[in-house]
Amino acid sequence: MMSRPGREQHGALLGSVGIATGLLAFFLVSGRWNLSRMTSMDLGLLGEPRIFIALLLLVIALAPRLADRARPNVRRAADRTLALVSLFYGYMALTATWAPDGADRMKLVELGLVLVCVGATLRMTRVMDPSRVSELVWRWLVPILVVFAMIGAGMGSGGGRLAVLGGGPNVFGRNMALLCVAMVSLVLRRGGSGFAMGAAVAGALVLLSGSRGALLACAAGVAVVLYHNAGRLGRVVHVGLAVAAVAVVIVQLTELGTRAIEMFHHRVLQLAIEDGYDSGRSDVYLSAWELGCQSPWFGIGLAGFEVLGNHVYPHNLFLEVFCEGGLVGIVLLMLVLAPPLVAVVRRRGGAASHDYGALVVVLFSAQFSGDLYDSRTVFVFGALLTVLVSSAGNHATAPMAARRGLLARRVG
């Protein structure tokens, strides 16, 4: 059993973990934004907040006063997950040794940043109950996403696809899909018209991003949230009707809703379905596949696609890993992703429905946009979900152990 710290110790622990989860939330949404955009000087790595966020997370994770209080099964899950992620990232870093000349070595730094943040996340689950860590992450992440949504809604009256704070439309769409999943989960658990309105507005902003990948990801994430609430069918129907009613009001009475429907008609019905336009993705995917087939076992090396391919990166997580890391990279990637994905399909306990939905959102998004660094949310959410599921055994096995002890005493 995990010992209960005293009030003063618990407060200090909560402060450290709370800061760490806040840094993690900012790391997940900060992307490659840097201070050089605000100055006339090129600050290099010193101008990139993600560098300092990762360093601060590392300092907190290594703080000796944060005692390891995890139960054995949580500790084993965290250690196993960190080993698998380290093996995958270590191998992808190794592929840089046979990458073609001109490959961007910055990708090595980016792999290190993600590995540090995944390790810090797993460290926090050994210091505090994993469900509490997840709760703190979402307590930071949701307000940040709400701010993004407010900025986006304010820009919604203009033309073109929505993007905020220097991020692209695909990134904004993915973030709004995460917010939509969180709002749907909250309204299912707690009720309230505010959460229903939040879900509908977030969905409209996904449409206004014009990102078809984000739209698919949002639909898949919401479907997973509903799937994990299938035992509460009446509640699901009630919430679905409430969100649909709010969505109808937004579409009929607001310019935001009208623009969202126009964007859906243009980007999905007209471009995607009628014209078959895929933003050049099929050519990029084919290029990545062909390059991967030239070196199927070990790939062409990290960042090699930018040199030999027809784009900066393949815009698909699995194709990027296959192209640059070969089948060995794919196998290692699947070893990392298998535990959380099995938990999603089997509806294992230990996590909230938005934890499952968030993983599906970011994993779907990673098949249409971004590179290995942009897929950092997949590895962070996947690692956290794996440990959350492992912690469910603590609550399930404790009553069983108690019953076995009582039976033994009766038999004795």
- Identify the CA nearest to 225 among candidates 176, 188, 266: 188
pLDDT at 242: 84
What angle do the packed helices 193-209 and 169-190 form, to 10 degrees?
A: 160
As a whole-number percent, the residues of the chain with pLDDT over 90 amount to 62
- Identify the CA nearest to 182 among candidates 341, 346, 355, 365: 355
pLDDT at 44: 66
Q: Which residue has the higher pLDDT, 280 or 65?
A: 280
Can you tell me the mean pLDDT for 268-276? 90
Question: pLDDT tens digit string along 370-379?
Answer: 999 999 999 9
Q: 50-86 burial, b if ≥16 CB within 10 A, otherwise e?
A: bbebbeebbebbeeeebeebbbeebbebbebbbebbe
pLDDT at 39: 65
* Integer Cα distance of 376 and 117 in angstroms: 9
pLDDT band at residue 40 under the 50/70/90 scheme: low
- Identify the CA nearest to 172 among candidates 111, 224, 113, 215: 215
Residue 2 has pLDDT above 90, yes or no: no
243: left (phi over 0), alpha (psi -120 to 50) or beta: alpha
pLDDT at 239: 82
pLDDT at 407: 30
* Integer Cα distance of 86 and 80 in angstroms: 10
DSSP per-residue string spanning 328-383: HHHHHHHHHHHHHHHHHHHT-SSS-HHHHHHHHHHHHHTTTS--TTTTHHHHHHHH
* Integer Cα distance of 195 and 281 in angstroms: 35
For the ranges 216-225, 262-271, 307-316, 343-352, the maximum mean pLDDT occurs at: 216-225
pLDDT at 159: 62
Question: pLDDT tens digit string along 117-176?
Answer: 999 999 999 999 999 999 999 999 999 999 999 988 877 555 678 888 767 899 999 999
Residue 331 has pLDDT above 90, yes or no: yes
pLDDT at 157: 54
Contacts of 235 (CB under 8 A, 6+ apart): 188, 229
Q: Which residue has the higher pLDDT, 302 or 393?
A: 302
* Integer Cα distance of 40 and 280 in angstroms: 34
* Integer Cα distance of 191 and 185 in angstroms: 9
pLDDT at 411: 32
Domain ranges of the chain: 1-128+279-412, 141-277
Question: pLDDT tens digit string along 72-82?
Answer: 999 999 999 99
pLDDT at 165: 72
pLDDT band at residue 31 under the 50/70/90 scheme: confident
Question: Does residue 317 contact residue 108 with C-beta atoms inside 8 Å?
Answer: no
Dihedral sign computed on CA atoms, order 331, 332, 334, 339: positive
- pTM, two decimals, is 0.90
Length of the chain: 412
Q: What is the mean pLDDT of the chain?
A: 86
DSSP per-residue string spanning 108-163: HHHHHHHHHHHHHHHHHHHHS-HHHHHHHHHHHHHHHHHHHHHHHHHHTTSSS---
Encoded tokens for 129: 């109950």
- Identify the CA nearest to 95 among candidates 291, 288, 304, 294: 304
Encoded tokens for 302: 């990290």
